Amino acid sequence: MAQQIRDQTKARLQDYEPIVGRGYIEEMRVLAQRLSGKVIQNINSTFVGGGVAEILSHLVPLSNQLGVDIRWDIIKGNDPFFEVTKKFHNALHGNPTVITAEEFALFMEITQKNLNEMNLYGDIFFIHDPQPAGLISKKKEIGKNWVWRCHIDLSNPNQQVWDFLRKFVVDYNSAIFSSPNFAQKLTIPQYLIPPSIDPLSDKNRDLTPETINSVLTKLKLTSGKPMILQVSRFDYLKDPIGVIAAFERVRRTLDCQLVLVGGTASDDPEGQRVLQEVRQRAGDNPDIHILDLPPDSHLEINALQRAATVVMQKSLREGFALTVSEALWKKKPVIASAVGGIPLQIKHRFTGLLVHSVDGAVYALRQLLTNQEYANWLGQNGYQHVKQNFLVTRELRDYLLVFIALSSAGEIIHL
């Protein structure tokens, strides 16, 4: 039932040395040695689309290069199951959602099916997000260490869904959250590990001006006008309608264009509906470009981010919003909502601008579009901040530490 993939990316560990330094990589090798002989099994719900799949596609091959036997499997589910887990997702983000008893029953049924058919072979099980969280039921039978990695904003969860999920979570050995706001009252250790970007991936590596221009031409965009860009799935929680509203007000006095780029993950059936609404709202405004790109359009996204004048992430709720780190890595000024993990990435007025409303977004856009020097300064600071705190090497190192901490006690661990 489970599928398994490895080595999706071709980046070599030594390729990161010029970015993070040799000492950093050496430290990771020391940590990897401590995990020698252990198999770490990642489990989530999809290999493609969405932030989790993207993170794992970089972390798994890099871990393997360090000598850590880390593998990646996915659970299997049907459309109704993913509809339910999408509702879970929205509810955990704080949306008013009611989950029926039948939907909980369906979740349990598919979980049981996965429990029966999945090969759970790891020494450490690294479970991502709510979809496979129920696999913890196997712990009573097979033991081993289990870590739950929550990529979702749990700062204001729907109590019904969280209570349901919490029963599973407390059986894990530890949990990992992306932001301090997501922490819950739990009896198990909760670690803070923000997600990260891969500076060498197609989405973030350096591009030549020719490549950027060819992508713009291919997508029928012009580089002649300042470009405001938001990259995110077509999802109500990303507030694409709010972005259009802000853009329309700015456009009255400043010549610029808006590009909304999105896609849908295989576990996101809601996406098409949102896309239709966004297109309706944009109408026939020639300065608004709505691009529905396939999930593997990494190079295109990279080029768009590099071509942008200002990048926005005006989400209403967020897990972490890696698109913010991506834009900062490209030294772009970013305007984003102070939700989820965004405040970790953006220190207001230092590495970007935080806003709380459409009005705030309009004000920030005007500031950045008319003050290039200030915009560049924010972009430079943002780049340094990401380099220091949000690269894949840092995330991988943190995970290795969590796995090591599973078999160590105390607040000071001598390795």
Partner 1 sequence: MADWVNWLADNWILVVIPLLSFIAIFAVGLLLRMLILRLLARSPDWSRWRGSKAVSDSLKRPFLDWFFLLGSYVAVQVSSLPSNAKNLAAMIIGSLFVVSVAWVIDNIAEKLIRLYTNAKAPTRQSIAAINVLRAIIIVVAILIILSIWGFPINPILWVIALVVIVVALTLRDVIANYFSSLQVSSARQIKVGDFIKLDSGESGHVISITWQNTQIKSLQGDSILIPNSKLARTTVTNYGHLLKKATDPFHFNTRLHLRELTGIKACNVNELFDILREAPDNVVFYHVHHFLEENLYLTPEPTNDFAIWVNSILGDDILGERLASIDTFAFPTIGAVKQRLVDTLADYLRNNRDERKCHEGEEFHFIRSVIFILPTSYVAHDLREFVEILRKVTIDSIYFHVFESRLRLQKGTNDFSIWIAESLGEKELADEIASIDPYVHTLENLRNLIISRIEKYIK
Give the contacts of 172 (CB within 8 A, at least 6 positions apart): 127, 136, 146, 147, 148, 188
Structure tokens at 19: 């970015």
Residue 162 dihedral angles phi and psi, to the nearest 5°: -65, -40
Start-to-end C-alpha separation, the chain: 38
Q: How far apart are CA 397 and CA 291, in angstroms?
A: 35
Min dist. Cβ of residue 330 to partner 1 (A) = 17
Q: Please, which residue, 9 or 389, has the CB nearer to partner 1?
A: 389
Q: Return the number of other C-beta atoms located less than 10 Å from residue 2's C-beta.
A: 15
Min dist. Cβ of residue 289 to partner 1 (A) = 32
Min dist. Cβ of residue 152 to partner 1 (A) = 15
Q: Please, which residue, 114 or 155, has the CB nearer to partner 1?
A: 155
Q: Given the rule CB under 8 A, which residues bind partner 1?
A: 21, 23-24, 26-27, 30-31, 155-156, 177, 180-181, 183-186, 189-193, 338-339, 348, 384-385, 387-389, 397-398, 401-402, 404-405, 410-415
Q: Please, which residue, 31 or 307, has the CB nearer to partner 1?
A: 31
Q: How far apart are CA 243 and CA 86, in angstroms?
A: 23
Min dist. Cβ of residue 384 to partner 1 (A) = 4
Min dist. Cβ of residue 33 to partner 1 (A) = 10
Identify which of 203, 121, 190, 126 has the alpha carbon closest to the alpha carbon of residue 154: 190
Q: Return the number of other C-beta atoms located less than 10 Å from residue 109's C-beta.
A: 14
Q: Please, which residue, 216 or 354, has the CB nearer to partner 1?
A: 354
Min dist. Cβ of residue 183 to partner 1 (A) = 4
Q: Is residue 195 within 8 Å of residue 55, measured between CB atoms?
A: yes
Q: Please, which residue, 55 or 227, has the CB nearer to partner 1?
A: 55
Min dist. Cβ of residue 138 to partner 1 (A) = 26
Q: DSSP alpha helices (H): ranges in 93-239? A: 101-117, 139-142, 159-169, 209-218
Q: Please, which residue, 114 or 173, has the CB nearer to partner 1?
A: 173
Q: Please, which residue, 219 or 405, has the CB nearer to partner 1?
A: 405
Q: Is residue 312 within 8 Å of residue 336, measured between CB atoms?
A: yes
Residue that is written with structure tokens 């007000």 in the block: 249
Min dist. Cβ of residue 354 to partner 1 (A) = 10
Min dist. Cβ of residue 24 to partner 1 (A) = 6
Q: What is the CA radius of gyration of the chain?
A: 21
Q: Is residue 107 within 8 Å of residue 134, measured between CB atoms?
A: yes
Min dist. Cβ of residue 187 to partner 1 (A) = 10
Q: Please, which residue, 213 or 380, has the CB nearer to partner 1?
A: 380
Q: Please, which residue, 42 or 179, has the CB nearer to partner 1?
A: 179
Q: How would you class 18 by CB atoms within 10 Å of its CB: exposed for 0-12, middle for 13-18, buried for 19 or more?
A: exposed
The bridge status of strand 310-313 relative to strand 334-337 is: parallel
Cα dist from 36 to 43, 69, 116, whole Å: 20, 8, 29
Q: How far apart are CA 244 and CA 250, in angstroms?
A: 10
Min dist. Cβ of residue 89 to partner 1 (A) = 18
Q: How far apart are CA 339 and CA 318, in angstroms?
A: 6
Cα dist from 185 to 130, 166, 294, 396, whole Å: 17, 10, 39, 26
Q: Return the number of other C-beta atoms located less than 10 Å from residue 356's C-beta.
A: 11
Q: Please, which residue, 253 or 388, has the CB nearer to partner 1?
A: 388
Q: Please, which residue, 81 or 177, has the CB nearer to partner 1?
A: 177
